[in-house]
């Protein structure tokens, strides 16, 4: 039997450390409630919203909303700031851009 000659690389594949980091972001985005929360925040002026504004229309409890927001924050997709008795969340545009760039590279739309 002949040995597979393999096709040449056009760019380096993801290294293990980057794959772990990116997988955490995709894991955070893999939940429909979290996607809706991120979208609810991103669609507001300044890509910022109070926690009291983003839970409308979601059929989950306030503690569950808080948990999902925490997951998005820990994944680096949101930041938060307490103002008086409310917490405001803001999208981290650079984090979303990194995800977008990675997908474009993997799709062959961009050369790394």
- Chain-centre distance for alpha carbon 50: 19
Q: Which pLDDT value is given to residue 111?
A: 60
Identify whether 27 is part of a domain. Answer: no
Q: At what angle do helices 32-42 and 16-29 cross, to 10 degrees?
A: 80
Identify whether 84 is part of a domain. Answer: yes
Give the three-state DSSP class for 89.
strand
87: containing domain: 32-106
Identify whether 48 is part of a domain. Answer: yes
Identify whether 1 is part of a domain. Answer: no
Q: What is the pLDDT of residues 56-66, one digit of tens each?
A: 888 999 899 99
Q: What is the pLDDT of residues 69-112, one digit of tens each?
A: 999 999 999 999 999 999 999 999 999 999 999 999 888 876 65
CATH number at residue 46: 1.10.10.10
Number of domains observed in the structure of the chain:
1
Identify whether 6 is part of a domain. Answer: no
What percent of the chain stands above pLDDT 70? Answer: 96
CB-CB contact of 38 with 90 (8 Å): no
Identify whether 58 is part of a domain. Answer: yes
Could you give the CA distance from residue 96 to residue 99 in angstroms, rounded to a whole number? 5
């Amino acid at each position: 039997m002949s040995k597979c000659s393999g096709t040449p690389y056009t760019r380096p594949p993801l290294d293990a450390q980057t794959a772990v980091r990116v997988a955490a972001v995709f894991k955070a985005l893999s939940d429909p409630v979290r996607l809706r929360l991120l979208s609810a925040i991103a669609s507001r002026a300044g890509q910022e919203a109070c926690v009291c504004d983003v839970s409308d229309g979601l059929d989950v409890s306030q503690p569950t909303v808080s948990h999902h927001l925490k997951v998005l924050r820990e994944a680096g997709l949101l930041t938060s700031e307490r103002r008086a008795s409310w917490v405001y969340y803001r999208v981290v545009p650079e984090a979303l851009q990194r995800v977008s760039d990675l997908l474009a590279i993997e799709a062959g739309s961009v050369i790394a």
